[in-house]
Copies of this chain bind each other. A is one copy, B any other.
Amino acid sequence: MFSQAEENYIKTIWHLQQLQQKVSTNSLAERMQTKPASVTDMLKKLEAKKLLHYEKYYGCSLTTDGKKIALSIIRRHRLWEFFLSEKLGFAWDEVHAIAEQLEHIQSAELTVRLDAYLGHPRFDPHGDPIPDASGELQPREQFLLAEWPAGKPAIICAVQNHDASFLELLGQKSLDIDTHLIVQKRYAFDQSADLLLASGQVVQISAAISNNIYVKAD
């Protein structure tokens, strides 16, 4: 139905729209690792297909149809990530690149069966919710670690950033999905913090890290 290039654009626009409802050509170009001129071309094409609204010089936003497509791609992406992690034992930071390809496999039946085989998982290995078959995304009851009060027990349930460099750093600091922790101390100067882990280990993290980790109450 849609080419891989089109699907990648739709999905990226959806993600950017979570932050700002109008998506600019440049932000899209940066995220897609391409040039603004290429983005303009694609926006015209996707507008013609009624997947997004596009006003010259003022950015784009997905139509209802566009959002539905986006969520179906995200559903496939996250189901495959779950499969790669849960069934094949891939590490947290390895699944994204492969799911980026698998999400484009065209077969409605495949998605249905994969979902059932995996036991209808509700969250991917990064803690992100998996849209259900009708495109519903349950809101996450998760908070930024940066905003979590010191002393209150928490569990890591998601990360905002999926770059390999970030996930690698988390590994270094023994931080992972389901890690139990308490914010021991937060330093006003640079918003860095000391975390006490369930293991008894204490690790230091920068503000950049706490702004990319989601936690929930333990």
A-to-B contact residues, CB < 8 Å: 84, 87-90, 94, 97-98, 101-102, 105-107, 109-110, 113-114, 117
Q: How far apart are the CA atoms of A98 and B98 in the complex, in Å?
A: 17
**Majority SS at the chain A contact face:** helix
- With A87-B117, A88-B114, A88-B117 already in contact, the answer to whether A94 and B109 are too (CB < 8 A) is yes
- Contact in complex: B98, A110 (CB < 8 Å): yes
Q: How far apart are the CA atoms of A110 and B106 in the complex, in Å?
A: 19
- Contact in complex: B101, A105 (CB < 8 Å): yes
- Contact in complex: B110, A88 (CB < 8 Å): yes
The interface residues of chain B lying within 8 Å CB-to-CB of A87 are 117
A113 CB contact (under 8 Å) in B89, B109, B110, B114: B89
A107 CB contact (under 8 Å) in B98, B105, B113, B114: B98
The interface residues of chain B lying within 8 Å CB-to-CB of A98 are 105, 107, 110
